Amino acid sequence: MGQLLKIVVFSLCVVCGFAGYTTFGLPLIIPEAPPVEEKLTGEITMDQYIALGKKIFEGKGTCTLCHNSLGRAPLLEQVAQVAPERLKDPRYKGKATTTEEYIHESMVEPSAYVVAGFGKKGTNDTVSPMPNISKGAIGLSDVEIGAVIAFLQDVGGTEVTVALPSGDAGAGSTEEEPAEIKVAENAKEAFSKFGCDTCHMHPLIEEGGDMGPDLGKVGATAGTRKEGYSAERFIRESIVNPNAVIAEGFDADTMPDDFATQMTVSELDMIINAILGNESS
């Protein structure tokens, strides 16, 4: 009897699993939950602080959205090594005197020094397209910024000069981290979840960036941009395959091209609707 029950249960599982698969089509690729944030309570070693910096660099800080092999922002593996040269450059306008201060300043006041060739178009490398990462959508705390600097000094093979945070300073800032990625419930959440707000503006985005076109203006002309494409189809393609059409005045290979593998269908649809101007929440 027990044996029979087991067989029945097993068969049901197989049938349900198969039915689930065919009913809903191909399984969606849901992004991996981010690593649980290290709690900075009590004592923390420099190795842990550097590891936290790496996590922030690749995750919450959204640094790798721009600082990646696509080449639209300088790679940062060597920044700790080149910092002393930056400070000597006649174009340097900031107040930093050490590598640590230079990296800190680059994050909160990016235009103090603009790496040649990476400035905002038309500004002759005087204005950086990088947002102040202590504000707006990214909003890193001092402890988190310190962790990122420690990480960048460490990968650059230079001495880590950042001081470890005191237990109290760390506690508050990292514990509020959500432990897992939720499917966004509306377009506003989706814009922030995928980091669209670091490069784009839109009425649903509070403090957007301007490395890419203003998404509040794209809907109006989207239907005329590509022969035979409706506005909806044009926007969809622009998100899943950004290099198909390059918006005038902007560069190719800037926008990440892997959003299709990270978004659920509902998230993509909400974003498209918002850009079309069909959604107001």
Shortest spacing between CB 20 and ligand HEC, in angstroms: 28
Shortest distance (Å) from residue 17 CB to ligand HEC: 32
Q: Which residues of 22-44 are buried (b: 16+ CB within 10 A; e: fewer)?
A: eeeeeeeeeeeeeeebbebeeeb
Shortest gap between Cβ of 21 and ligand HEC (angstroms)? 27
End-to-end CA distance of the chain: 56
Of 88, 271, 72, give the one whose Cα is nearest residue 189: 271
- Looking at 28-36, 41-49, 101-109, 169-177, which segment touches ligand HEC (CB under 6 A)? 101-109
Scanning 12-20, 41-49, 76-84, 166-174 for contacts with ligand HEC by CB under 6 A, the matching segment is 76-84
> What's the rounded Cα separation, in Å, for the pair 189 and 271?
10
Residue 143 in the binding site for ligand HEC (CB under 6 A): no
**Out of 146, 170, 195, 219, the residue judged to bind ligand HEC by CB under 6 A:** 195
Alpha-helical regions (H) of 25-139: 46-58, 63-66, 79-88, 99-108
Determine, following the binding rule CB under 6 A, whether residue 96 of this chain makes contact with ligand HEC. Answer: no
Choosing from 44, 51, 96, 133, the residue that interacts with ligand HEC (CB under 6 A) is: 133
Q: Is 153 in the site for ligand HEC (CB under 6 A)?
A: no
Binding residue (CB under 6 A) for ligand HEC from 55, 62, 165, 276:
62
Query: What is the C-alpha separation between 193 and 200, in angstroms, rounded?
Result: 13
34 is an interface residue for ligand HEC by CB under 6 A: no
| CA distances in angstroms from 126 to 4, 47, 56, 89, 99, listed in the order given | 76, 36, 27, 13, 21
Of 41 and 261, CB closest to ligand HEC: 261
Exactly one of 250, 269, 277, 279 binds ligand HEC (CB under 6 A); that residue is 250
CB of 23 to ligand HEC, least distance (A): 28
Q: Give how far the C-alpha of residue 119 lies from the chain's centroid of Cα atoms, to the nearest Å.
A: 20
Residues in Cβ contact with 73 at an 8 Å cutoff, skipping those fewer than 6 apart: 66, 67, 118, 130
The tokens for 152 are 């960048």
Task: Record the tokens describing residue 78, joined without a space.
Answer: 């060597």
188 binds ligand HEC (CB under 6 A): no
Number of residues that bind ligand HEC (CB under 6 A): 55
Comparing CB distances to ligand HEC, the nearer of 23 and 119 is 119
Q: Could you say whether residue 247 binds ligand HEC (CB under 6 A)?
A: yes
CA distance 38 to 206: 29
Spatial distance between the Cα atoms of 19 and 265, rounded to a whole number of angstroms: 20
> Applying CB under 6 A, which residues contact ligand HEC?
61-63, 65-67, 73-74, 76, 79, 82, 86, 103, 106-107, 110, 113-115, 118, 128-131, 133, 148, 194-196, 198-200, 209, 211-213, 215, 218, 235, 238-239, 242-243, 245-247, 250-252, 254-256, 259, 271, 275
